[in-house]
Structure 1
Amino acid sequence: MKTTKTPAGQRTRAVIYCRISQDRTGAGLGVDRQRIDCEALAEHNGWDVVEVYVDNDVSAYSGKKRKDYQRMLADLDNGAATIVVTWHTDRLHRSPTELEKYINLCERRGVATHTVQAGVIDLATPSGRMTARILGAVAKQESEHKGYRVARARMQKAMAGEWGGGIRPFGWGVPTDETKTVVDRKTGEEVEVPALDMNMAVPEEAAAIEQGHEMLLAGQSLKSWIRWLADKGFLTPRGNPIGHVEGRDMLLRPRNAGIAVYKGEEVGTGLWEPLVPVEKHRAVVAILMDPNRRTSPGSTPKWLGSLIYRCGIGTCTETTRVTKAGGSKRPGYRCPSNHGGARRADKVDEYVTDLIIERLSRPDASDLLLPGPGDLDVAALQKESEEIRRRLTDLAALFGAGQISMVQFTEGSDVARAQLEGVNQQLARAATRDPLVSLVGVPDVRKAWKAMDLEQQRSVLRTLLEVTIRPARPGRMPDGSYFDYQAIEVRWKRGA
C-alpha cells in the first residue's frame, strides 16, 4: 500500500507492520485499526509509506511463523525503507531471541522503529536497545500470564461443561434464543446464527448415544449400531454419514457420562446432566478398547465362527474364514494361510450350536454365569475416582511449584494412575452384561438362541467356547456320515 507523495521534496521511506494474535471474527478489524493509527503517525512525520505488512490471527509468542514479518525483514535487509512504524513494540516481538535478530538487522541497515503507543525506539543507541529489551521482557511476561489465565479459564469452562469451540459434539448443543456472529467460510461474510447451549442434550441424538451403549453391552457390535444410525437417518453434526471412526469416537466421549476433560485428560465430574451412567460408559470403553474384541475391517461376518474358530493344522493358530475356494460348491471354514482343506461351514456351526444349547439347557446352567455386580458400590467407586484425580492435580501443582522432584512426581502419578485404572475396571464391571443371561433359565433355550441376532450368538460363543478345527479323518465315519465331528476340538471356557 502506498500513500500519495506531497510536494515537500524528498521524503523518508517507511513501512508499517500490523499484527493481532487472535481474530475472533475473522474480519481483520483489529489490524485495520492498527493500520489507521500507524498511517496517521507516518503522515504526521512526513514519511512515505511504501508497504504495509499484516499478520492477522498470528501470535508472536507462540513461535508460529509470521509470513509478512519475514517478508518485511527481507525487504528491510534489501534497503526498502529506513523506518518501521508499528502500533506498539509487542506487535513486532514477544520473544527475546526474535528481538535480538531484529536489533542486529536495524543496526546493520540503519533502520529506526517508531510506535504509536510507545514512541521512538532508537535501536542504534544502547539506551534504545535497553528500552526495546525491557519492553520485550514485559511483553513476554504478559504473554505468559495471559497463557496461564487462558489455561485456567479453559479448565473452568471444561468443568462447567462449556464447549471450547469447534464442531459441536453429537448429542449436545440445543439452539437458544440468543445469536452469535460467525464468518461464513465460503463467502467470508459475517452471519448471525443461533447460539447453542452445550450443557443441553439434543433429545434424539442423546437417545441414539444411549442406544449405542445398550447394543454394545448386549453383545452387539459397533457396526450394528452404525447401521442402526444410518437406518434412522442420523448424520454427523457436519451433515455427513456416520462411519466407524466417527461412531467409535461418539461412544468413547467422556462427556456422555458427565466427565469433564481438559487437554485430553479427565479432570473430574462436570456440571451437566450425563447421557449415560458412568459405569455404562466405562463398560463400553472397555469393550471398544479391548484388542481381543476387534475384528478386521471388511464385510460383516455371516457365519457363527468366522474369525473365531481357530485353525488346528500343525502349530497354526490363525482364525478361519468362510469361503468357497478350491472349487467347493458349499461354503467352508478355511485357514487364511491356505494350508489344509475346508470344513463345511453349516455342519461345523450346527455342531457348535448344539453343544451350546445342550449345555445351557442343563439344570446347573446358572453356574456358568459370572457373579453379578451387586457387591459393587458404584457411588463409592465414583468418589474414589474423584479423589484419585484430585491427587493427580495436586501432584502436578506441587511439581510446578518446585516442592517435589520429577522422580517423586512420576512415581506418585504412576501409582495414582494404576489405582484409577483399577477403579475404572470395577465401574465397567458394574454395567457389563453377561452374554449368557438371556439364555440361562429360559424354558426353551433353542428358541431363545434362534431369537438372537448373529452378533449376540457370536458373543455367547466367545464367552463359552474355544473351537479349533483339526484335520479330518478320510472316508466314512462310524456313524455313517462323512463329517468327522471328532476333528472339531472344543475347550469350554466356563464349566465343561
Structure 2
Amino acid sequence: MTGTGGDSDARRKVQFMVARRKEAQEKALRVVLYVRISSDPGGLEKGVDRQEKDCRILADLLGWQVVRVFRENDTSAYKQKTITLPTGERVRRVIRPQFRELLTLLGRRGAEALIAYDLDRAVRDPRDLEDLIDTKVLAGFQVRSTTGSLRLENDADVAMARVLVAMANKSSADTARRVKRASQQQAEDGRWHGGMAPFGYRMKDSSLIPVPEDAVLVRQGADRILAGDSLYRVVRDWNDANIPSAKGTKWATTALRQILTNPAITGVRTYRPILDDGSLSKEVVLTTQGIWEPLLDREVFEKVGQVIASRGDAYRVERRGRTRLYPFSGMIRCERCGIVMRKQSDFYVCCMPERGACSRRISFAQTNAVILAHSPRRSPRPGSWIA
C-alpha cells in the first residue's frame, strides 16, 4: 500500500509539472528581435547573425516565444538624410525602415516584448529613442538587451537610456569628424580614398595599380572618341566582342562616359567633402597629383572631355525642338501594346518594360518617310502616331 501511494504521489507531481510547463508555454510572451550592424560592405551578414543568435538565447532563457526578427544589415543608426514629409516640410531623419516597421508592430500590440543585442544597436539617435519610449508607454511591452544596457521599465531606466544614447551619438559624431579629416589628408597626400577602383585600375596600399587589359580599353575608347566615333558605337562594338564591363555586364554609354571623364585616369586625385546634411559635395574642393600611374595624358583627357561635352550640348539643343536626329523616337506608339517606340539601330522598337513581352519593331527609314509624306513641312510637334 505504501509503495502504491508513493507511485501515485509521484505521478501526480509529474502531471502537475507538465501542466505548469504547458501553462507557462501558453502564457509565454511573444517577442520580436532587432539586430543591426552599421557597416557590412561585403554583405556577409555575419554580424547580425551573431546578434540574432545571442538574442534567441536570451529569449529561450526568459521563456519567450520569438515571433519575428527585424534585421538591418549595413545600416547606420546615426547618419541622417534630408527628406520631405507628406506635409511638404523638409526635415532631417535617420532612415531605418525595419526599425520603423518594428515600432508599428509593437504599437499595434503584435508582440509583448522586444529584445535587441545592445542599446546602441537599437538606437543611436535621441529622436529614435524617444519614439521607442513613446511606443512602449502606449503599448506596454517589455524591452531587454543581451548586454543589459537596454531596459525601459522605470524612470531611472529611461533616464539612463537617454544619457547613454546621447553619449553614443556624440561618439558617432566624433568618429565622423575624424574620418572626414583623414579623408582630406589622404587627398592632400595624393593617396586613393578606397572604395571601388576606377576602371583600368585595381587598388593596393592606398594607391591604384593599372590593369593592362583594361588600360588598353580606356586608351582605345579615348582614341575612338577623338577620331569621331560616338560613345554608343564604341560600347556597341565592345558588347559585340563580348568584352565585359567593370561589373561583368554589358557596356552602357553612361559607364563609358564616366570612365573617360574621371580625372583619376590621368593620375589626379580629387576631393569632395561630406556636407553637413550627409550628402557628398558636388564641387571638388581639392585637387592633387595622385601617387599612381596615369592611363591618359592630361591633354588627351581634356580633349576627350570637350568632345563628349560638346556632343551632350548638341543633344540638349536637339531635345529643345530645334533639330531632332530621330524626330519620332518616343512619339510613335506600338499598335500591339500601346507602348512608345524608340530608335535603336535601324529600327523603332517597342519599349515594353517586360523583356520579351513585345518584339514589335519597324523600319526607321520607311516609317519616317511615310509620316513625313503625310505631315506639314515643318518640325514635328509632340503627338502620337500608330505604327
TM-score calculated relative to the size of structure 2? 0.59
- What residue number does 2:50 align with? 33
- What residue number does 2:40 align with? 23
1:161 aligns with 2:175: no
- What residue number does 1:7 align with? 21
Q: Is the 8 A contact 2:192 2:206 kept in 1?
A: no
1:283 aligned to which of 281, 303, 311: 303
Q: Distance in 1 between matches of 2:311 and 2:226?
A: 16
1:210 aligned to which of 219, 227, 233: 219
Q: Report the CA distance shift for 1:204/1:69 in structure 2 as closer, same or farther (over 3 A).
A: closer
Q: Is the 8 A contact 2:111 2:141 kept in 1?
A: yes
Query: For each residue in 1:123-158, what CA deviation from the matched residue of structure 2 results, as whole angstroms up to 9, or x when unmatched?
Result: 532x22211111111121222233334444555666
Number of matched pairs: 282
Alignment of 1:168-317 (within 5 A): 169-173=198-202, 199-217=208-226, 222=231, 225-226=234-235, 229=238, 234-263=243-272, 265-266=283-284, 267-268=286-287, 269-290=289-310, 294=314
Q: Is the 8 A contact 1:55 1:67 kept in 2?
A: no
1:95 aligns with 2:115: no
Please tell me the root mean square deviation across aligned C-alpha atoms, in Å.
Answer: 4.0
Q: Distance in 2 between matches of 1:223 and 1:278?
A: 24
TM-score calculated relative to the size of structure 1? 0.48
Q: Is the 8 A contact 1:157 1:164 kept in 2?
A: no
Query: For each residue in 1:14-67, what CA deviation from the matched residue of structure 2 results, as whole angstroms up to 9, or x when unmatched?
Result: 4332222223443322122222323333444x3413334222312222345444
Q: Is the 8 A contact 2:35 2:52 kept in 1?
A: yes
- What residue number does 1:121 align with? 151
Deviates more, 1:201-210 or 1:57-66: 57-66
1:54 aligns with 2:54: no
Q: Distance in 2 between matches of 1:292 and 1:116?
A: 57
Amino acid at match of 2:71: D
Alignment of 1:53-72 (within 5 A): 53-57=69-73, 58-62=75-79, 63=93, 65-72=95-102
Alignment of 1:377-416 (within 5 A): none
Q: Is the 8 A contact 2:114 2:142 kept in 1?
A: yes
Q: Distance in 1 between matches of 2:209 and 2:248?
A: 20
CA shift at 1:231, angstroms? 7.6
Q: Distance in 2 between matches of 1:25 and 1:289?
A: 36
Q: Is the 8 A contact 1:107 1:124 kept in 2?
A: no
Amino acid at match of 2:171: E
Q: Report the CA distance shift for 1:97/1:279 in structure 2 as closer, same or farther (over 3 A).
A: same
Q: Report the CA distance shift for 1:232/1:137 in structure 2 as closer, same or farther (over 3 A).
A: same
- What residue number does 1:140 align with? 169
CA shift at 1:242, angstroms? 3.4
Amino acid at match of 1:285: G
Q: Distance in 1 between matches of 2:130 and 2:95?
A: 17
3-state SS of 2:270 partner: strand
Q: Report the CA distance shift for 1:224/1:70 in structure 2 as closer, same or farther (over 3 A).
A: closer
3-state SS of 1:23 partner: coil
CA shift at 1:205, angstroms? 2.7
Instruction: Please identify the structure whose Cα radius of gyration is greater.
Output: 1
Q: Distance in 2 between matches of 1:7 and 1:325?
A: 84
Q: Report the CA distance shift for 1:221/1:101 in structure 2 as closer, same or farther (over 3 A).
A: closer
Amino acid at match of 2:261: L
3-state SS of 1:173 partner: strand
Query: For each residue in 1:277-329, what CA deviation from the matched residue of structure 2 results, as whole angstroms up to 9, or x when unmatched?
Result: 223212221222125874666699xxxxxxxxxxxxxxxxxxxxxxx979xxx
Amino acid at match of 2:221: G
Amino acid at match of 2:127: T
Query: For each residue in 1:397-418, what CA deviation from the matched residue of structure 2 results, as whole angstroms up to 9, or x when unmatched?
Result: xxxxxxxxxxxxxxxxxxxxxx
3-state SS of 1:146 partner: helix
The percent identity for this pair of structures is 28
The unaligned stretches of length 5 or more in structure 2 are 1-18, 80-92, 273-281, 319-324, 327-342, 345-367, 371-376, 381-387
